[in-house]
Structure 1
Amino acid sequence: MHFDLPDLRLFVHIGEAPSLTQGARRACLSPAAASARIKALEGQLGTRLLYRDSRGVELTPAGHKLLRHARLILRQAEYLKSEFVHYGTDSAGHIRIFANTTAVTEFLPEVLAGFLAKRPGVTIDLQERLSRDIVRGVLDSAADMGVIAGPVAAPGLQVIHFSTDRLVLAVPVGHELAGQKSLTLKQTLAFQHIGLHEGSTLLSFLRDQVERLGQSLSLRIQMASFEAVCRMVEAGVGIGIIPESAALRHSRTMELVTLELDEPWAVRERSILVRELEALPGAVRALIATLLPAPSLPL
Structure 2
Amino acid sequence: MRFDLVTLNLVLAIAETRSITAGAQREHLALAAASRRLSDVETRLGVKLFDRRARGVELTEAGHALVRHIRSLHASLHALESEVMEFSRGIRGHLRIAANAGAIAESLPADLAAFSQAHPGIRISLEDLGSAQVLAAVADGRADVGVYVPPQHLEEGLRTHAYREALLRAVVPRGHALARRKSVDFDALLDHEIVGLPIGSSLHQTMLEHAQRSGRVLNVRVQVRGFDAVAQLVEAGLGVALLPAGVADRLQRLFDLKVLGFTEPWACRQYRLAVRDQPVLPTAVQRFIDALGAPAVPAPASPPSPSKTPRLE
Secondary structure of 2:2's aligned partner: coil
SS in 2 for 1:214: coil
Paired position in structure 2 for 1:296 = none
* Cα deviations by residue, 1:239-269 (Å, 9 ceiling, x for unpaired): 1111112112222211111111111111112
Alignment of structure 1 residues 1-299 onto 2, 5 Å: 1-12=1-12, 15=15, 17=16, 19-20=18-19, 24=23, 28-29=26-27, 36=35, 37-51=37-51, 58-78=58-78, 81=81, 86=87, 91-93=92-94, 95=96, 97-103=97-103, 108=108, 122=123, 124=125, 126=127, 128-131=129-132, 134=134, 138=138, 143-150=143-150, 157-276=158-277, 279-289=280-290
Contact 1:277 1:285 in 2 (8 A): no
Count of paired positions: 287
Cα drift, residue 288 of structure 1: 3.8
Structure 1 residues 264 and 197, CA, compared in 2 at 3 Å: closer, same or farther? Answer: same
Identity of aligned residues (%): 34
Task: Tell me if the contact between 1:101 and 1:202 (Cα under 8 Å) persists in the aligned partners.
Answer: no
In structure 2, give the amino acid aligned to 1:47: V
Q: 1:28 to 1:114 in 2, by over 3 A?
A: farther
* 1:112-167 per-position Cα deviation (integer Å, ceiling 9, x unaligned): 68978986884747362444x65566567675332122467869754322222111
Q: Structure 1 residues 59, 201: closer, same or farther in 2, change over 3 A?
A: farther
Structure 1 residue identity aligned to 2:184: L
Listed one character per residue, the Cα deviations across residues 187-210 of structure 1 (whole Å, up to 9, x for unaligned) are 111100001122222212211111
- Offset at residue 283 of structure 1 (A): 2.7
Relative to structure 1, is the Cα distance of residues 14 and 94 closer, same or farther in structure 2, using a 3 angstrom cutoff? farther
| Of 45-54 and 146-155, the range deviating more from structure 2 | 146-155
- 1:90 & 1:260 partners in 2: Cα distance? 45
Whether the 8 Å contact between 2:98 and 2:128 is mirrored in structure 1 is yes
TM-score by length of 1: 0.75
Match of 2:305 in 1: none
Q: What SS class does the counterpart of residue 170 from structure 1 fall into?
A: strand
1:217 to 1:152, Cα distance in 2 relative to 1, 3 A: closer
Report the CA distance shift for 1:19/1:98 in structure 2 as closer, same or farther (over 3 A).
farther
Shift of residue 35, structure 1, vs aligned partner: 5.6
Gaps of 5+ in 2: 295-313
- CA deviations on 1:84-113 (whole Å, 9 max, x unpaired) are 6549x9623463x45334235665578668
How many angstroms does 1:173 deviate by? 0.4
Residue deviations 1:35-75, cap 9 Å, x none?
Answer: 63545433432322234557765431111221333344444
Quickly say closer, same or farther: Cα 1:277–1:171, change in 2 above 3 A.
farther
For residues 200 and 98 of structure 1, the distance between their equivalents in structure 2, rounded to whole angstroms, comes to 14
- Which of structures 1 and 2 has the bigger CA Rg? 2
Other structure's SS at 2:127 match: strand
CA contact (8 A) 2:157 2:277 kept: no
Separation (CA, whole Å) in 2 of partners of 1:4 and 1:127: 35
Q: Which residue does 2:301 correspond to in 1?
A: none
SS of residue paired to 1:216: coil
- Name whichever of 37-46 and 232-241 sits farther off: 37-46
3-state DSSP class of the match of 1:178? Answer: helix
Residues 95, 144 of structure 2: 8 Å contact kept: no
Question: What is the rounded CA distance, in whole Å, between the counterparts of 1:18 and 1:201 in structure 2?
Answer: 33
Looking at structure 2, the residues matched to 93 and 42 of structure 1 have their Cα atoms a distance apart, in angstroms, of 37
